[in-house]
C-alpha cells in the first residue's frame, strides 16, 4: 500500500488512505463463525510508477452529486455499478485517476470505445492539430479529414464492403443499418438474439432483447428474437462447441470435427423462420462476441436464403461498428444504391475533428500492434481466469476472445443458474475497486472485461491478482 501512495503527501494522501480503508474495510466485517479453507494469497502487486502526474483541481464531489441529482438524466443516479460513486477526473493510456488522485487500471475503456488508451499522445496531437484548423462545417462540403479516414477504414475491410456512412452513436448506426436492410430487400421483418443490446432508439429498442432497456410503449415493430447460442446456460452444446481459446465446463458429446449444438441451433433458427416471420425477411442482427457466427456460414446462408441482409457474419452485407469518436455503418455498393433513393443526412457524423481522431486511432492501432496485443494478452487473461473458474464455485463461465471477456457468476455451477445478481457481484466490485481495479457488469451476474488495447501482460497480472483477492474475500465473508 505504501508504494501505491508514495507519490502523494499531505491532505491528498490522507484522503486516498481514508478512501482505501473505507473500501477494504468491507472485506473485514461479518465473518461467519465457521471456517472456510481457502488458499493463502500472496501480497498484492503494487501499481507501476508513472511519469504522469494527475491534476487534482476539480469540482467538489458534493457539488457534482448535487448537479447530478438536479440536472442530469435520473438514470445516472441508478446505473453506477458500484455501491459508492467513482469520481473520475483524468486518464492516460490504460490508467484513470479520480478527483482525489487515486489511480486505477481501467478495464472498462469507456464501454469499449477507448480503443488505444486514454489521451494517447499520438491521437491527442492529431486532435489538437485539427482543432486549430477546422472544427465543424457540413459534409456537403469536401474536406480532407473525412476522406483520409474513410480511405483508411475501407482499406481494412474486405471487398465489397467499401461504402461508409458516419454516425454519432451505436443506436443511430444500428437504426441506419436496419433501415438500409429494409429498403434494399423490400422486406420488413428482422431477427435478432435474445439478451442482446443494439440500441435504445424507438426502432432499435426492438432489436434489443433485454427487459432492462425496454419501455412500455409501442416499439420494435417487425423485430423478432431467437435464442442466443449459449453453450454454458443454454440447452445445447458444451466443452467442444465454442470458437474461443477457453471452452465452457459442460461436458460435450459432439464428435471431433462436428458440432451437434450447431445443428440444433440451426434447427431452432429454422423454426423461427417457419413460425414467427414471413417467408422473406429484411435481415439478421447479431454480434460476433455473442458467438453466433459459425465458421461454415450456415446462419449467413439461411438468412440470405430468406431474402435477408446479414448484419452479423464476417464479411457481412452490412456492418455497424465503432472507431473512436466515429460510429460507422459500412455496406455493399448495391445496398448503398438502394438507400440513395432518398436523402440521408447527418449533422455531426464525419465532422473534421472526429475524423482526424478516428484516422489517428487507425494509424496508432497499426503502429502499436494492438491486434497482436489483444490476441496475446486476451488469451492470457482468458486462460488465467479459467483457472479461477476451476477454483471458485461462484464462477460458472469464462468466455470471450481477445480483449472482450465475460466472467459469469453463479449460485449453482453444475446447473448453470446465475442469480448471484447485484448483491454478490457488487460486493466483489467494491473489493476490486478498493485495490485500484474497476471492472463493469454487462448483466447483474456477469463481469465484463474489455480494457484499452494498450494493456500489458504486467497489467493483466495486476488485475488477476486483485480479482483473485476480491473473490477470495467474498468467499471468506459469505461462506
Domains assigned to the chain: 81-110+370-477 (3.90.1150.10), 121-226+278-368 (3.40.640.10)
Rounded to 5 degrees, what are φ and ψ at 223? -95, 135
Q: Say what the pLDDT of residue 478 is.
A: 73
Q: Return the number of other C-beta atoms located less than 10 Å from residue 103's C-beta.
A: 22
Confidence category of residue 133, pLDDT binned at 50, 70, 90: very high
- Region class of 109: left (phi > 0), else alpha (psi between -120 and 50), else beta: left
Residues 331-371: tens digit of each pLDDT: 889 999 999 988 888 889 899 999 999 999 999 999 999 99
Rounded to 5 degrees, what are φ and ψ at 208? -75, 120
HSE of 118, CA atoms in CB hemisphere, 13 A: 19
The helix, strand and coil proportions of the chain, stated in percent and rounded to the nearest 5, come to: 40, 15, 45
For 459-472, letters b (16+ CB in 10 Å) and e give bbebbbbbbbbbbb
223-226 and 190-193 beta bridge pairing: parallel
Q: Residues 9-29: what's their mean pLDDT?
A: 33
Q: How far apart are CA 183 and CA 466, in angstroms?
A: 50
**478 contacts 472 by C-beta, under 8 angstroms:** no
Q: Say what the pLDDT of residue 7 is.
A: 32
| Rounded percentage of the chain residues whose pLDDT exceeds 90 | 35
**468 contacts 43 by C-beta, under 8 angstroms:** no
Q: Say what the pLDDT of residue 182 is.
A: 94
**For the purposes of burial, counting CB atoms within 10 Å of the CB of 241, is it exposed (0-12), middle (13-18) or buried (19 or more)?**
buried
For 290-318, letters b (16+ CB in 10 Å) and e give bbbbbeeebbbebbbebbbbbbbbeebbb
The three grid cell numbers given for residue 259, joined into one nine-digit string? 458440432
Reported as type and span, the H/E element at residue 376 is helix 370-391
Q: Say what the pLDDT of residue 210 is.
A: 84
Computed on alpha carbons and rounded to an integer, the radius of gyration of the chain in Å comes to 24
Rounded to 5 degrees, what are φ and ψ at 273? -65, -35
Confidence category of residue 453, pLDDT binned at 50, 70, 90: very high
**pLDDT higher at 352 or 193:** 352
Q: Return the number of other C-beta atoms located less than 10 Å from residue 443's C-beta.
A: 17
Residues 223-246: tens digit of each pLDDT: 998 888 888 887 777 887 887 889
Rounded to 5 degrees, what are φ and ψ at 473? -65, -40
**pLDDT higher at 292 or 355:** 355
Reported as type and span, the H/E element at residue 124 is helix 121-131
Residues 294-318: tens digit of each pLDDT: 434 788 788 888 998 877 544 566 6
Q: Residues 90-108: what's their mean pLDDT?
A: 91
Residue the block writes with cell 485500484: 436
Does residue 272 have a pLDDT over 70?
A: yes
* Global pTM value: 0.83
**Which residues partner with 397 through β-bridges?**
408
The three grid cell numbers given for residue 14, joined into one nine-digit string? 490522507
Q: 157: helix, coil or strand?
A: coil
**For the purposes of burial, counting CB atoms within 10 Å of the CB of 400, is it exposed (0-12), middle (13-18) or buried (19 or more)?**
buried
Neighbouring residues of 29: CB distance < 8 A, sequence distance ≥ 6: 477
Q: How far apart are CA 463 and CA 474, in angstroms?
A: 16
Name the CA dihedral angle for 289, 295, 296, 300, rounded to a multiple of 10 degrees.
30
Neighbouring residues of 388: CB distance < 8 A, sequence distance ≥ 6: 395, 398, 464, 467, 468, 471
Q: How far apart are CA 115 and CA 111, in angstroms?
A: 10
Q: Say what the pLDDT of residue 312 is.
A: 57
**185 contacts 309 by C-beta, under 8 angstroms:** yes
- Region class of 101: left (phi > 0), else alpha (psi between -120 and 50), else beta: left
Q: Say what the pLDDT of residue 324 is.
A: 53
Beta strands in 213-273 (DSSP E): 223-226
Name the CA dihedral angle for 425, 81, 464, 20, rounded to a multiple of 10 degrees.
-100
Residues 143-177: tens digit of each pLDDT: 999 999 999 999 998 888 899 999 988 889 899 99
**276 contacts 224 by C-beta, under 8 angstroms:** yes
**pLDDT higher at 28 or 379:** 379
Amino acid at each position: 500500500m505504501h508504494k501505491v501512495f508514495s507519490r502523494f503527501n499531505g491532505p491528498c494522501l490522507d484522503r486516498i488512505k481514508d478512501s482505501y480503508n473505507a473500501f477494504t474495510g468491507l472485506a473485514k466485517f461479518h465473518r461467519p463463525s465457521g471456517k472456510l479453507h481457502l488458499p493463502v494469497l500472496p501480497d498484492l502487486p503494487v501499481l507501476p510508477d508513472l511519469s504522469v502526474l494527475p491534476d487534482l483541481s476539480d469540482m467538489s464531489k458534493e457539488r457534482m452529486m448535487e448537479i447530478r441529482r438536479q440536472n442530469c438524466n435520473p438514470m445516472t443516479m441508478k446505473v453506477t455499478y458500484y455501491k459508492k460513486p467513482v469520481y473520475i477526473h483524468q486518464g492516460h493510456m490504460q490508467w484513470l485517476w479520480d478527483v482525489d488522485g487515486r489511480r486505477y487500471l481501467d478495464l472498462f475503456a469507456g464501454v469499449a470505445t477507448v480503443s488505444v488508451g486514454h489521451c494517447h499522445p499520438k491521437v491527442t496531437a492529431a486532435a489538437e492539430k485539427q482543432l486549430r484548423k477546422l472544427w465543424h462545417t457540413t459534409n456537403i462540403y469536401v474536406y480532407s479529414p473525412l476522406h483520409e479516414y474513410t480511405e483508411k477504414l475501407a482499406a481494412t475491410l474486405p471487398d465489397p464492403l467499401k461504402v461508409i456512412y458516419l454516425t454519432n452513436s451505436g443506436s443511430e448506426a444500428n437504426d441506419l443499418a436496419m433501415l438500409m436492410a429494409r429498403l434494399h430487400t423490400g422486406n420488413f421483418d428482422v431477427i435478432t438474439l435474445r439478451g442482446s443490446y443494439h440500441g435504445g432508439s424507438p426502432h432499435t429498442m426492438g432489436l434489443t432483447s433485454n427487459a432492462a432497456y425496454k419501455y412500455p410503449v409501442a416499439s420494435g415493430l417487425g423485430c423478432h428474437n431467437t435464442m442466443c447460442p449459449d453453450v454454458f446456460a443454454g440447452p445445447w452444446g458444451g466443452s467442444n462447441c465454442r470458437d474461443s481459446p477457453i471452452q465452457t465446463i459442460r461436458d460435450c458429446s459432439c464428435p471431433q470435427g462436428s458440432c451437434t449444438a450447431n445443428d440444433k441451433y440451426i434447427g431452432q433458427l429454422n423454426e423461427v423462420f417457419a413460425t414467427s416471420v414471413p417467408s422473406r425477411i429484411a435481415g439478421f442482427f447479431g454480434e460476433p462476441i455473442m458467438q453466433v457466427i459459425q465458421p461454415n456460414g450456415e446462419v449467413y446462408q439461411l438468412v440470405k436464403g430468406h431474402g435477408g441482409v446479414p448484419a452479423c457474419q464476417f464479411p457481412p452485407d452490412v456492418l455497424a461498428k465503432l472507431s473512436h469518436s466515429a460510429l460507422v455503418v459500412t455496406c455493399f455498393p448495391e445496398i448503398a444504391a438502394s438507400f440513395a433513393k432518398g436523402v440521408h443526412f447527418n449533422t455531426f457524423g464525419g465532422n473534421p475533428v472526429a475524423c482526424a481522431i478516428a484516422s489517428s486511432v487507425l494509424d496508432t492501432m497499426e503502429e502499436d500492434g494492438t491486434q497482436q496485443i489483444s490476441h496475446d494478452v486476451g488469451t492470457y487473461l482468458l486462460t488465467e481466469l479459467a483457472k479461477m473458474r476451476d477454483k471458485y464455485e461462484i464462477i460458472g463461465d469464462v468466455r470471450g476472445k481477445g480483449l472482450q471477456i465475460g466472467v459469469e457468476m453463479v449460485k449453482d455451477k453444475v446447473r448453470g443458474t446465475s442469480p448471484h445478481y447485484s448483491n454478490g457481484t457488487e460486493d466483489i466490485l467494491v473489493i476490486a475497486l478498493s485495490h485500484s481495479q474497476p471492472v463493469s457488469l454487462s448483466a447483474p451476474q456477469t463481469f465484463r472485461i474489455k480494457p484499452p488495447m494498450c494493456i500489458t501482460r504486467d497489467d493483466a497480472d495486476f488485475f488477476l491478482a486483485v480479482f483473485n483477492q476480491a473473490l477470495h474475500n467474498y468467499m471468506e465473508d459469505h461462506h
